[in-house]
Chains A and B, each alone.
Chain A
Amino acid sequence: MVHFTELKGNKVYDLKGNCLGRLADLVFLDGTKYAEITHLIYEDENKYRKKIPWAFVKEFMQDNKGNKNFISIHLNSPVDAITQFFMKEREVLVGDILDKQVIDVDGVKIVRVNDVILGKVDNKLSIVAVSVGALSLMRRLGFGKITGLVSSKIKENIIPWKSVERLEPEVHDLHLKLQKNKIADLHPEDIADIMEDLTHTERILIFNSLNTQKAAKTLIKAGENVQDSVLKSFKIEKVKELLENIPYDQAADIIGMMPKHKAEEILKSMRKETSAKIRKILDYYPESIGSIMKTEFIAIPEDYTSEKTIDLLRQLKPSSDKIYHLYVVNKDNHLIGVLSIRALLTADPKSNVVDFMKKQVVYARDTGTKETAARIMARYDLYLLPVVDKEGILRGIVKADDVLEGYISKKLKREKFIPLKIKARQNGNSKKA
């Protein structure tokens, strides 16, 4: 194992012992677990940068004293037998990661790379980890000797390459997707959290790398700064796509944050029925139940049998939170009863829903306040609450977590809870070291 900063600047010799120049950088090919080094770049005495394939490297040699600061790099051919390449613009260099910020995907945070650790994997030199702790910083400042004395006690703070997400190289091309997308496995809340610490360009880069569903969820969970970043820079088309992939109430929330003209433009570009539903939510007073209710819900017609209802559920495959309670409506869409999933499954398949539904339904009015909804839910131990308008027509459902949202400060919501994963990683590290 060798640190990139110890390798950099050392002399490169060809087979005949001619000094070609000093090592300037390394080119790597990114992979999910490791990143293989493909070329080395050296600077000759005229300060020209030349690139040669890594396959020409025979060995590194430490000088007699075993001083790590003098590692010479020896090639396996004479200089005239080595194919040299020009630098391509898109290449990813180790020097591009050094001193830059990367995402520690497992720790869900942004860290700064103090050193890059190279090691042999399947006999190929690869990036195996990055070093982010104080030890590596001390070493680079030239306090290596001091750290040598104490380093047995202090653990080297390294992040394995498989948990590292790069930010820099492709930043200039925002449409380029990340090759590997380690960050996409995180929860939207955690991605949103990371976003807070990034620059505008980096936020957009990450957003573009997520699938629409995840991007939309992240956007909802993100702080105002991040939402602002994204909404301002994305083209209408992209924002529209995002909004059509999330529940109407959340789409309405996001549209509500946009400048008026842009909101109008987006609503116009959407499908009529979608935009009509969003507009309806936007019309509600911001603190009202109507503004937070879900308008996608399952209403069972009163003439359905238990069997038919179960068939309907099979077809719709609703998400688990919508299945807790099913609401029964008459032909005018008035709310007339509620079904528990238990009642539905235990009832005779031929029996009509009206016969086993609960007729005393606890509900909330769409114009009521969030607090009313919270009080009703607390009193009756409900997770879901049906919402009706003044005529008693079922308009939506409201979920406990949406009500709760208003009662928890932003600050508390940003607290991270990442217990087990991190521990597992640290154990992995100590084994390697």
Chain B
Amino acid sequence: METPRKLDWKHILFILGIIGPGIIAAIADNDAGGIATYSVAGANFGLTMLWTLIPITILLIIVQEMVARLGAVTGKGLSDLIRENFKVKTTFFIMIGLLIANLSVTVSEFAGIAAAGELFGISRLILIPATAIVIWLLILKLDYKKLEKIFLVLVLFYIAYIISGFMAKPDWGAVFKGTISPTVQFNKSFIFLLIALVGTTITPWMQFYLQSSIVEKGIRKAEYKYSKWDVIIGSSFTNIISFFIIITCAAVLFSNGIRVNDAIDAAKALEPLAGSYALYLFGGGFFIAALFGAFILPLSTSYYLCEAFGWESGVNKKFSNAKNFYIIMLLMIVISSAIILIPSINLIHLILLAQFINGIILPVLLIIILKLVNDRKLMGGYVNQGWVNIVTWTGCALVIIASISMLVVTIMGT
């Protein structure tokens, strides 16, 4: 019999099929901005910031788990739930904020692509238009399932960072000590970087992305137990990558007294000290990370906006049936790549703007998520219970404090 064998395969694929959204969401979060932040943390503060990854991972898991649960139990996306349970004005505020913030983040991803390309001697005048076209064609030609598989393959490229971490030959004893012993320096740049680490790991858009991919996969209450592990594995994996970025930069750059401002600086500085492999692994990983972000952000942003405002959406729809969906996506790609092609553009203001808006939205969003996840009408027996509630409120409070401090720091002008 042919069929039963096929069914067994399907069953395995089914469980594998549930695993995915959590991992992709978490990894996509290690985008151009994220990697830059970790590189700077490693190069400028050595191993002293390593310990922060543990609480950050826990915070990430707390938030992602709630969002995954919302998706699995209600079967609806986050923007769907916000629109149905909060006022139109709240929805509008969050959506417009999300659009502007995600657009700025997309710009920074394209900037990352350009910078990484130049590292390998490819002109941005060729690379940026080419990437924009490839992204657009892939979105048009492939259905969501195939896109997700591509994303999962891209995830594998992040292993480059783990390899470069080992090749940097760090002092493992010191790494261990840095991981378990919390140290805080009370100076402005340390505190700023600490907040930035939280801010770059827990972003508004990834909550939307995770929930909608859980829904897209058709994951339900009964299968939620697998999704929980998906979230835990994803969140841990992404921070393991961050961990290796920090130790690479700490071992090679910090110990040699080299300070950097972004990921490309770090990759360039790595080359003479650790050999050209470091340049390729680090620069290549950075390129993939930026590409990943540039891919996911326009697509997902367009989904949420359409979901909230009730426009037809989906990559399997014809252009004429889902005009708004395609136009938002196209505009995001075109605007971001066009900005990067403007000669001598300074992106620092744009990146600060993205951080600023994310800093405003994130606290509101977390409170909304907590309210939704505790709504008995919506969640039934799946509301937060007892100590989970205390943990989630505390966790979210910490993230909120971090993002508000970020706002203050950004306004004061560091």
- Which residue on B lies nearest to A415, using beta carbons? B318
Chain B residues contacting A285 (CB-CB under 8 Å) are 2
Chain B residues contacting A200 (CB-CB under 8 Å) are 75, 218, 220
How far apart are B219's CB and chain A's nearest CB, in angstroms?
A: 9
Q: Taking the complex as formed, is A229 at the interface, i.e. its CB lies under 8 A from any CB of chain B?
A: yes
Can you list, as one digit per residue, whether each of B233-252 has a CB less than 8 Å from chain A (1) or not (0)? 00000000000000000000
Among A73-81, A107-115, A381-389, the one that faces the other chain is A107-115
Query: CB within 8 A of A263: which of B7, B308, B310?
Result: B7
User: In the bound complex, do residue B309 and residue A137 qualify as a contact, i.e. CB atoms below 8 Å apart?
Assistant: yes
Query: CB within 8 A of A141: which of B89, B215, B218?
Result: B89
- Which residue on A lies nearest to B377, using beta carbons? A172
- Which residue on A lies nearest to B83, using beta carbons? A99
User: In the bound complex, do residue A259 and residue B11 qualify as a contact, i.e. CB atoms below 8 Å apart?
Assistant: yes
Can you list, as one digit per residue, whether each of A250-262 has a CB less than 8 Å from chain B (1) or not (0)? 0000001111100
The SS class assigned to the B binding surface is helix
User: In the bound complex, do residue A260 and residue B7 qualify as a contact, i.e. CB atoms below 8 Å apart?
Assistant: yes
Q: How many residues of B contact A (CB 8 A)?
A: 31
A52 to B407, CA, bound (A): 50
Q: How many residues of A contact B (CB 8 A)?
A: 39
| Interface residue ranges of A230-267 to B (CB < 8 Å) | 232, 256-260, 263
Q: Taking the complex as formed, is A405 at the interface, i.e. its CB lies under 8 A from any CB of chain B?
A: no
User: In the bound complex, do residue A99 and residue B2 qualify as a contact, i.e. CB atoms below 8 Å apart?
Assistant: no
User: In the bound complex, do residue A286 and residue B89 qualify as a contact, i.e. CB atoms below 8 Å apart?
Assistant: no
Chain B residues contacting A331 (CB-CB under 8 Å) are none
A111 to B311, CA, bound (A): 6
Can you list, as one digit per residue, whether each of B59-101 has a CB less than 8 Å from chain A (1) or not (0)? 0000000000000001110001001100011001000000000
User: In the bound complex, do residue B218 and residue A140 qualify as a contact, i.e. CB atoms below 8 Å apart?
Assistant: no
User: In the bound complex, do residue B89 and residue A109 qualify as a contact, i.e. CB atoms below 8 Å apart?
Assistant: no
A144 to B318, CA, bound (A): 32
| Interface residue ranges of B1-50 to A (CB < 8 Å) | 1-4, 6-8, 10-11
How far apart are B188's CB and chain A's nearest CB, in angstroms?
A: 40
Chain A residues contacting B183 (CB-CB under 8 Å) are none
Chain A residues contacting B4 (CB-CB under 8 Å) are 260
Q: Taking the complex as formed, is B389 at the interface, i.e. its CB lies under 8 A from any CB of chain A?
A: no
Chain A residues contacting B92 (CB-CB under 8 Å) are 141
User: In the bound complex, do residue B7 and residue A259 qualify as a contact, i.e. CB atoms below 8 Å apart?
Assistant: yes
Query: CB within 8 A of A229: which of B143, B218, B317?
Result: B218
Q: Taking the complex as formed, is B321 at the interface, i.e. its CB lies under 8 A from any CB of chain A?
A: yes
User: In the bound complex, do residue A112 and residue B309 qualify as a contact, i.e. CB atoms below 8 Å apart?
Assistant: yes
How far apart are A302's CB and chain B's nearest CB, in angstroms?
A: 35
Chain B residues contacting A196 (CB-CB under 8 Å) are 314, 316
Q: Taking the complex as formed, is A208 at the interface, i.e. its CB lies under 8 A from any CB of chain B?
A: no
Counting chain B CB atoms within 10 Å of each CB, the highest count among A200, A263, A286 belongs to A200
A90 to B107, CA, bound (A): 50
A140 to B84, CA, bound (A): 14
Can you list, as one digit per residue, whether each of B313-330 has a CB less than 8 Å from chain A (1) or not (0)? 010111001000000000
A258 to B75, CA, bound (A): 21
- Which residue on A lies nearest to B312, using beta carbons? A109
| Interface residue ranges of B208-235 to A (CB < 8 Å) | 215, 218, 220
Chain A residues contacting B7 (CB-CB under 8 Å) are 256, 258-260, 263
Chain A residues contacting B309 (CB-CB under 8 Å) are 112, 137
Task: Using known A-B contacts A113-B310, A410-B143, A416-B318, determine if residue A199 contacts B75 with beta carbons closer than 8 Å.
Answer: yes
A99 to B92, CA, bound (A): 12
Q: Taking the complex as formed, is A277 at the interface, i.e. its CB lies under 8 A from any CB of chain B?
A: no
Q: List 20 A-B contacts (CB under 8 A).
A: A99-B84, A109-B312, A109-B321, A140-B88, A140-B89, A196-B314, A196-B316, A197-B312, A200-B75, A200-B220, A229-B218, A256-B6, A260-B8, A263-B7, A283-B3, A285-B2, A410-B316, A411-B143, A411-B316, A415-B318
Given A99-B88, A199-B75, list of 13 further CB < 8 A pairs? A101-B80, A109-B321, A112-B83, A113-B310, A137-B88, A142-B89, A200-B218, A200-B220, A256-B6, A260-B7, A282-B1, A410-B316, A415-B318
Ranked 9 nearest A-B pairs via Cβ:
A112-B310, A199-B75, A260-B7, A200-B75, A140-B88, A225-B218, A111-B310, A282-B3, A260-B4
